[in-house]
Amino acid sequence: MPQSASRKGRARPLPPRERKALLLRCAVKVFARCGIQGASYAEIAREARVSVPAVFVYFPTRARLVRAVLDEVVRFALEITQRIHDDVRPAPEIVFDHGRTLMEMLRTHPEYLRVQLEWGAAIRDEVWPMYLRFQDQLVGIMAATIRRWREETGSDPDKRVEDDARLLFSAGPMLAQMTFARVPRHKIEQFLETVVRDVFGDRALEYRPRPRPAPPIAAGG
């Protein structure tokens, strides 16, 4: 008997909108586990405990499936980033919080970070332009935080805000890789402190929060 959702029992009936949301969550997990190129409709069907045709009903082409998964990763990352950076706290404190939140996400939603990490390295015509737009949105949010800090403090007027925002953005994948690799927590904290100090100066360390206990990291997506 071929592998199918019947081994675990079929998923309970859901309204179309809820079914599509469930399939999308399962698709993100499968993309994290199998890769953007390797994820299949059959694997998503097994994850969701539905038939393969049921997945095609909501995502009739692979291009639409890939776009839906990447759109979901974008929504998730932008929502969290915007919420953190909308705060009125000092900018170094916000950036420390952003780094800590990223590490916490690796415990609670590792699949989103795994897809984002692969996507950022997948320089292919079909997905790369979309990633660059996503990157620009995140860099823009971080740049606004840096700009506000410099206007409030009068510090570093000659430094390019966008360059420092890109530095912060580039630190995210490294934080994720260090966490997945189980680098000791104090070394990850030191790396985060170095990045924040490079952007905001030595004064930034005054806003360093007390270290949290290291959370366990899921072995798989």
What does the pLDDT read at residue 10?
63
What does the pLDDT read at residue 204?
86
Q: Are residue 6 and residue 87 in the same domain, yes or no?
A: no
CATH number of the domain encompassing residue 35: 1.10.10.60
* Distance (Å) of CA 182 to CA 49, 58, 121, 175, 176: 32, 37, 21, 11, 10
Asked if the model's pLDDT at residue 219 lies above 50, the reply is no
Q: Are residue 4 and residue 92 in the same domain, yes or no?
A: no
What does the pLDDT read at residue 220?
44
Quote the CA–CA distance of 219 and 116 in Å, as a whole number.
17
What does the pLDDT read at residue 36?
94
Q: How many domains does the chain have?
A: 2
* Distance (Å) of CA 89 to CA 53, 85, 97, 193: 49, 9, 10, 17
pLDDT averaged over every residue in the chain: 88
Which of the four pLDDT bands, split at 50, 70 and 90, describes residue 214?
very low
Q: Which among 45, 60, 75 is the end of a domain?
A: 60
Range of the domain at 36: 1-60
What does the pLDDT read at residue 120?
93
Q: Are residue 52 and residue 72 in the same domain, yes or no?
A: no
pLDDT tens for each residue of 119-178? 999 888 789 999 999 999 999 999 999 999 999 988 877 789 999 999 999 999 999 999
